[in-house]
Amino acid sequence: MGPRSDAQRVTVIGAGVIGLSTAVELARDGHEVTVVADVDTMDTVSAVSAALWFPYRAERSPAVVELLRSSFARFAALSEVSDSGVEMRAGTVVERSATPDRSWTAFVPDAVEADPRLLPPGASSGVRATLPFIVIPAYLPWLRARASALGVVFERRSVQHLAELAGRADTVVIAGGIRGGELLGGDPDVVPVRGQVVRLANPGLTDWVTDTDEPDRLTYVFPRRDDIVVGGTSIDGSWDRAIDVDTERAILERAAALVPAIAGQPVLGRAVGLRPARPTIRLERVTGHELPVIAAYGHGGAGVTLSWGTAERVLALLRDDAT
């Protein structure tokens, strides 16, 4: 879409999946978008994501249900784009709660009860479903290239104060993840949730499995095209980005019990990421600053999952501001 008479100059702060998705959505609508970040996209927490469309560590609310619905539809459409890195993959959600939350299945046409004989010990139930599976090493570069093709400008620098953007932007979108509240005077509700993963060679697996109802035994096995992402941890309040060898050993033991075929596979890489958790996602207009601001952060472990719905909501807020 070309320039429009009411186009705004929008600066998006943050080059992770929320920032990039928002930039693409706004640029498609004809706005002049600049993405500012002090780290490269592949150095953000988004790059550590596994990543499966699933609402892990996200708030449960009608608003988030709508974000889930929108994002599922967008990712399902992207699975038809050959180079996007998005695929529709079958797998199993293991449940250990007596009353599991299955609200997410409302958007999944083939979600069915899992065969209890195929579930791990201690599981109460499970769901088999085909979900959008986002191969991050392919998807994030594709998304950034899509933004560039739409005219989005990227600047690698740090913004210390919103006043720095006065005269250069009509609206600022803050999509800074764990640092999202810094430019707004701080946000004590944002808490890091430490996640550690290890990448293994893939012996030919395609089905994913996630077993995340017990935070201290969180386990998932996500086979990608050339490797398998195995996790994980969910440690609230930890800023530790160092690889912990004992944690990795425990992750691999749990994962091999869940999927025996991965036992003994060579380790290809490891990573730690800090999920930006918040009791509620901050997705709203923020007043009292030098420029109009839209906050878009606090997605917990569901940043990729909620990314397109978030981008659509940011665009709706921008349009509301213009009316």
Has residue 102 been placed in a domain?
yes
pLDDT mean over 154-176:
94
Structure tokens belonging to residue 24: 């693409």
pLDDT of residue 3 exceeding 70: no
Read off the pLDDT of residues 104-130 as tens digits, 9 standing for 90 and up: 999 999 999 999 999 999 999 999 999
The CATH number given to whatever domain includes residue 243 is 3.50.50.60
**pLDDT of res. 5:** 64
pLDDT of residue 153 exceeding 50: yes
Mean confidence (pLDDT) of the chain: 93
pLDDT of residue 322 exceeding 80: no
> Interior CA angle at 170 toward 180 and 145, to 5°?
65
Out of 218-222, 269-273, 289-293, 317-321, least confident range: 317-321
**pLDDT of res. 1:** 46
Read off the pLDDT of residues 271-280 as tens digits, 9 standing for 90 and up: 999 999 999 9
- 17-28 and 307-322 are packed helices; what angle lies between their axes, rounded to 10 degrees? 50
Q: How many domains does the chain have?
A: 1
Structure tokens belonging to residue 157: 């620098």
Residue 179's pLDDT band (cuts 50, 70, 90)? confident
pLDDT of residue 24 exceeding 80: yes
**pLDDT of res. 56:** 80
Has residue 306 been placed in a domain?
yes
**pLDDT of res. 321:** 65
pLDDT of residue 307 exceeding 80: yes
Has residue 318 been placed in a domain?
yes
Cβ-count burial 147-179 (b if 16+ within 10 Å, e if not):
beebebebeeeebeebebbeeebbbbbbbbbbb
pLDDT of residue 4 exceeding 80: no
Has residue 307 been placed in a domain?
yes
Read off the pLDDT of residues 51-110 as tens digits, 9 standing for 90 and up: 899 988 677 788 888 999 999 999 999 999 999 999 999 999 999 999 998 989 999 999
Has residue 4 been placed in a domain?
no
Read off the pLDDT of residues 240-269 as tens digits, 9 standing for 90 and up: 999 999 999 999 999 999 999 999 999 999
Has residue 1 been placed in a domain?
no
Has residue 58 been placed in a domain?
yes
State the residue range of the domain holding 165: 9-322
